[in-house]
Amino acid sequence: MTALTVTAVTKAFGAISVLEGVDLHVPARGITAVLGPSGCGKTTLLRLIAGFADPDSGTIAFGDHPVFTAGRSVPPQRRRVGYVPQEGALFPHRTIADNVTFGLARQARRTGDRLHELLDLVGLDGDLASRYPHQLSGGQQQRVALARALAPRPSVVLLDEPFSSLDASLRDGTRRAVMRALRAAGATAVLVTHDQAEALSLADQVAVMRAGRLVQLDSPAELYRRPRDPAVAGFVGEAVLLPADIHDGRAATALGTLAVRGPAMDGTADVLIRPEQIQVHETAVADGVDAIVGEVSFYGHDAALRLDLVPGGPRVVARVPGSDLPGAGAKVWLTVTGEVLAFSCDSSCDNYHR
């Protein structure tokens, strides 16, 4: 496997710009998630890497070998890319064995050694080799699609929203099995997804795209803890953004005076508070802020409380354990644990207050 480097890539369809100066480096044997809403350009980026289309400008390289530069484009079949589309796209009239070994040389298909190695790698029983795709579950079909992509030992594996069509009961187990297989194979992989939890839990690094631009590339933990702007903060998890007046590393907010992490900043700003930082108390506590429970969303292991600060304050969201929840309309007191992140306030901030 090899590293992937995308440099200053642009792409437009007619008058519509889809990608604008995208830079992305995926280390060898690393898994990168490209995260963004529908229409942000992430699937187009994947197709350019695969060679299904060419950029208007920029370069794409696998290791030290360019596969696209101005005036030169290596065709898809020579790029040694494994591609896993959203629906798996297995051949319905071929057996699982034939699907997995489709891209192998005739001798490798005949011996069957690589077939059994791949089925074992993706966690499928060898007895499934003689079945047809319609005889497998959706999760099993996606594992077969990955095995087919890995069969010719590609330089890079590209996965285009491979789990989005699966039922919730299949999705988690399938994606964990797929990630285990990618890591066991030492694959360099790019996963396109619009699912924030999927990107944060599966990838070594996450590239956030917005309107054709890559706006932040970081480890999952750094991305969640230090998003670059309020839009990224709201996209990679629930975010409470409150106006604040900051002085000497302390932010005066509707939830009290809070410690600010990061570079020193004084003046008007917006601060980011994650819902799990907001503690909910059913009896009055020192420095607690009064609130009324507006809505309760119960998820089993935990719950989201939407709370209205009183009198007449903003609505905030707290993530709390799922046991002993206050009911809608109950009066509670709120405190905040840990430090908050501040953003210099501008007109865009108003769009993200909650």
In this prediction, residues 20-49 reach a mean pLDDT of 95
Q: Which range has the worst mean pLDDT, 32-36, 172-176, 324-328?
A: 172-176
CA-wise closest residue to 145 among 79, 190, 100: 100
Residue 349 has pLDDT above 70, yes or no: no
Q: Which range has the worst mean pLDDT, 18-22, 74-78, 145-149, 331-335?
A: 145-149
Q: For residues 33 and 200, what is the distance between their CA atoms, to the nearest angstrom?
A: 8
Percent of the chain with pLDDT over 70: 96
Indicate where the chain has its CATH 3.40.50.300 domain(s): 4-231
Token pair, residue 35, equals 């995260």
Residue 169 has pLDDT above 90, yes or no: no
Res 354: pLDDT: 40
pTM: 0.87
Res 167: pLDDT: 81
Instruction: Please name the fold of domain 239-352.
Output: OB fold (Dihydrolipoamide Acetyltransferase, E2P) (2.40.50)
In sequence order, the 6+-apart residues with CB closer than 8 A to the CB of 235 are 35, 36, 37, 196, 208, 210
Q: Where are the alpha helices (DSSP H) in the chain?
A: 42-50, 96-100, 106-111, 113-121, 138-150, 168-184, 196-202, 220-225, 230-235
In sequence order, the 6+-apart residues with CB closer than 8 A to the CB of 136 are 96, 128, 144
Indicate where the chain has its CATH 2.40.50.140 domain(s): 239-352
pLDDT tens for each residue of 225-281: 999 999 999 999 899 999 999 999 999 999 999 999 977 788 999 999 999 999 999
Res 353: pLDDT: 46
Res 297: pLDDT: 95
- pLDDT confidence band for 88 (50 / 70 / 90): low
pLDDT tens for each residue of 273-305: 999 999 999 999 999 999 999 999 998 889 999
Query: Look-up: residue for tokens 């994606």?
Result: 175
DSSP secondary structure letters along 237-257: S--EEEEEEEETTEEEETTEE
Q: What angle do CA 206, 210, 213 make, to 5 degrees?
A: 85
Token pair, residue 240, equals 């409470």
Q: Which CATH number fits domain 4-231: 3.40.109.10, 3.40.50.300, 3.40.50.970, 3.90.25.10?
A: 3.40.50.300
Residues 80, 86 contacting (CB under 8 angstroms): no
Residues 146, 181 contacting (CB under 8 angstroms): yes
